[in-house]
Copies of this chain bind each other. A is one copy, B any other.
Amino acid sequence: MRQSQMLIPTMRENPADAECTSHRLLLKAGYIRQNAAGIYSYLPLGYRVLRKIEAIVREEMERAGCVELLMPAIQPAELWHETGRWNIYGPELMRLKDRHGRDFALGATHEEIITSLVRDELTSYKKLPLTLYQIQTKYRDERRPRFGLLRGREFIMKDAYSFHADEESLDERYHMMYDAYQKVFSRCGLDFRAVIADSGAIGGKDTHEFMALAAVGEDTIAYSDESQYAANIEMAAVLHVDQKRDETPLPLDEGQASTNDSDAIHISFFRDGEANVVAVLYRAIDEVNDIKVKNALDVTLLESISDEETVDFDVFDQTSSIQILADNGVKNVVNGVLKMNGKLLHFNINPDRDLTHMTFADLRMIKEGDPSPDGKGTIRFARGIEIGQVFKLGTRYSEDMKATFLDQNGKSKPLMMGCYGIGVSRTLSAVVEQHFDDQGICWPLSVAPYALHIVPVNMKNEDQKQLAEQLYETLGHQYEVLLDDRNERVGVKFADSDLIGCPIRITVGKKASENFVEVKLRHSGESEEMAIDQLQDYIEKQLKKA
């Protein structure tokens, strides 16, 4: 494409309202423009990248046996009433009335629509399993849209939904989707982790989030530096390691209290949904993980009791109604002090001897430096952008919406379901967050708007113009080529070229008359002069590397 016939409104200055790297560079390099808070236009370059990502998603979905369809964005409220989500969803769900006063939602997600579509069709086990997907615009009225495409109100998602006769089939599909997602994000050139996530309120069982590592990410990931293990920080199990200071246990509450921080034990109190009070003992150097306490107690509601509320508690009173839990880390304490609201209760506590009456469990937040729960390597933390999620929904939607099938014995059962999302426009931003330098974006070849950028230094020089046009013509048959045919100063052209970030730049300059050009790799900055008959081999070599 000729740059003179494109709309690539690059900026010389950083846009004032940009909130992170990808937002800044996509605006500055002329890829996107904001139309309203959280609502963007994809300008020609931005749209090209979006379509490249969509093509990769589509290929991997097809390869995994998924079938594409397209559902509407406007969804009748009746369907959302069937699942109760019309009321649950809150202001994030955009709503409108048609000319007859009927209520509609703008699709934030499509569980209701897809379930209503298949409930009349997938009526027999013979038609199962089936996985359908779409690439479509979604609407969520975020309270704080920000970071450009990372948290928008109108955005593009791939969402897939699978239907099964039993859990084994759902498991199998879940793993296929998991693998397909790995391929999608690898092909997009992303450094990412598949992270064990919280299935939360939707009530499914297994779920993984795919996180692109980036400082701007809103989630913290705990991952192993030696294995594939990665989890949302709140979901990461802590592997208990026996490791005590080498010190002789002293008699309880006799002599002098130790001042060793690692051996200080704190207490936090919680109240469950039935007003039972629970005490949790943990080392002062650790932090309690509420989700783990909830899981240990097998309750869904748990609130922490503030320090202001006095709890009548004696750790050694075994007649008390207060249940006591202790984090596994407490087992490593030697001659420890026990504190409540900063007040010393006991000292020279040795758990093997003094705390045998309480339940020990993994109750703390994982920390950097902890061993990885899978036994391989050490835990590190990173920030991540959620770019995808795979989720076993089970029968949550099929039961509410009466989507049933007849099994092999003629028995009616609700369909087992899974759902699988990829944030397509968010992936675009995540790639930029990982591929840039001071001069602009450095696209991976797989998603670059153009592989080659031909930049004649001076369009008024006849040799340069002619050679540039010739290369544009010949290379254009095989590769995606952008030609900077503008009458701009060379400084502007180079600055724009770096900003736009096509992987390979071919500069046509003074040696044009000798059929020599300069080739520069955007990512490494490597450049070399070569005769034009060497170009083809060079480009092929670079494409193979990518």
- Measured CB to CB, the residues of A under 8 A from B are 1, 5-7, 9, 33, 35-36, 39-44, 46-48, 50, 65, 67-76, 91-92, 94-96, 98-99, 102, 104, 106, 113, 116-118, 120-122, 126, 130, 132, 137, 139, 141, 143, 153-154, 487
Contacts and interface: CB of A to CB of B under 8 A. Distances in A.
A102 to B, nearest CB: 8
A342 to B, nearest CB: 43
Nearest to A132: B7
B73 A154 contact: yes
Contacts of A102: 36
Contact of A41 (B40, B48, B69, B92): B69
B104 A98 contact: no
Given A1-B67, A7-B69, A35-B72, A96 B91 contact: no
A249 to B, nearest CB: 60
Can you tell how many copies of this chain the complex includes? 2
B96 A95 contact: yes
Contacts of A117: 33, 35, 41, 43
Contacts of A92: 99
Nearest to A113: B35
Contacts of A48: 68
A318 B115 CA distance: 76
Contact of A99 (B69, B91, B99): B91
A462 to B, nearest CB: 21
A455 B130 CA distance: 21
Contacts of A116: 35
B42 A118 contact: no
21 contacts: A1-B67, A5-B130, A7-B67, A7-B122, A9-B120, A35-B76, A35-B113, A36-B75, A36-B102, A39-B72, A39-B76, A41-B69, A41-B70, A43-B69, A73-B73, A73-B154, A74-B154, A91-B99, A92-B99, A94-B96, A99-B143
Nearest to A79: B35
Contacts of A153: 74, 98
Contact of A70 (B42, B106, B121): B42
Contacts of A95: 96
Highest count of chain B CB atoms <10 Å: which of A35, A41, A43, A72:
A72
Given A36-B104, A96-B96, A67 B154 contact: no
A139 B75 CA distance: 13
Contacts of A68: 44, 47-48
Contacts of A67: 1, 5-7, 44
Highest count of chain B CB atoms <10 Å: which of A9, A35, A50, A113:
A35
B69 A47 contact: yes
Contacts of A35: 71-72, 75-76, 113, 116-117
Contacts of A75: 35-36
B7 A65 contact: no
A247 to B, nearest CB: 59
Nearest to A39: B72
A74 B107 CA distance: 13
A92 B99 CA distance: 8
